[in-house]
Amino acid sequence: METFVVHQGVAAPLLRANIDTDAIIPSREMKFVSKTGLAGGLFAGWRYLDAATRSPDPAFVLNQAEFAGATILLAGANFGCGSSREHAVWALREYGIRAIVAPSFGAIFQTNCIRNGILPVILAEADVALLAQQAGPQPLTVDLQRQVVVAPDGQVFRFEIAAAAREMLLEGLDPVALTLRLDAQITAYQARDREQRPWIYLAKSAPPVPSVPPPGAE
């Protein structure tokens, strides 16, 4: 997984509340079981005038010139609610989104973001609105090391994030890799436990398989 330390990029405002995963990527767009080939379906219901022909809707924020190449999304409350489809995060990541700033997130979506290298930043709704007012060609800075978002005009907004999630993103680790970093401690614990409770580690032989008489036998 790609690390996330400091990211600077264009921020696109999409301040609708309760944008669910079906809006992020409609089910008809989930034609692949891999993490690739999904970016074209991102916000397909809003991004295109006709989903079949992929004719872009000029009114949608990601189709506007000033937000071309946006890598940060400014969103409304409860972003990513609805179903637990991880395709929503995969589509955002493949499109190029590295951070999403919102007042709140769907819980499963938030976890999926962290596991796929997207930083979900929670700020007060008023602060997200202030950032949206400055959204445009001037880049926004998201600094995970310092846990701050820096607006184009220099205003600084601090955010909180769980220590494990922060470490995963800073180091580019998935949950398994994060656990394996504790291999020495786990091995030491097992050694101590083996001394204290040796019966737990006794090898167990498989029970004998009972013989079954053939049909008709007494």
Domain ranges, residue 155? 6-178
Question: Is 197 inside a domain boundary?
Answer: no
73 assigned to some structural domain? yes
Query: Would residue 207 count as lying in a domain?
Result: no
What does the pLDDT read at residue 205?
A: 59
* pLDDT band at 206; cut points 50, 70, 90: low
Q: Would you place residue 116 in the very low, low, confident or very high pLDDT band (cuts 50, 70, 90)?
A: very high
| pLDDT at position 218 | 56
Is 124 inside any structural domain? yes
The beta strands (E) that lie in the chain are given as 6-9, 11-14, 48-50, 55-56, 72-75, 99-102, 119-122, 140-143, 148-150, 156-158
β-pair partners for 20 = 81
Name the band, by pLDDT with cuts 50, 70 and 90, for residue 174: confident
- Looking at residue 32, which CATH number applies to its domain? 3.20.19.10
Average pLDDT over residues 186-206: 84
Q: Give domain status of residue 201, yes or no.
A: no
Instruction: Name the domain count of the chain.
Output: 1
pLDDT at 207 over 80: no
Q: Is 61 domain-assigned?
A: yes
Q: From CA 38, how far away is CA 92, in angstroms rounded? A: 8
How confident is the model at residue 217, as a pLDDT? 59
Residue 32 lies in a domain: yes
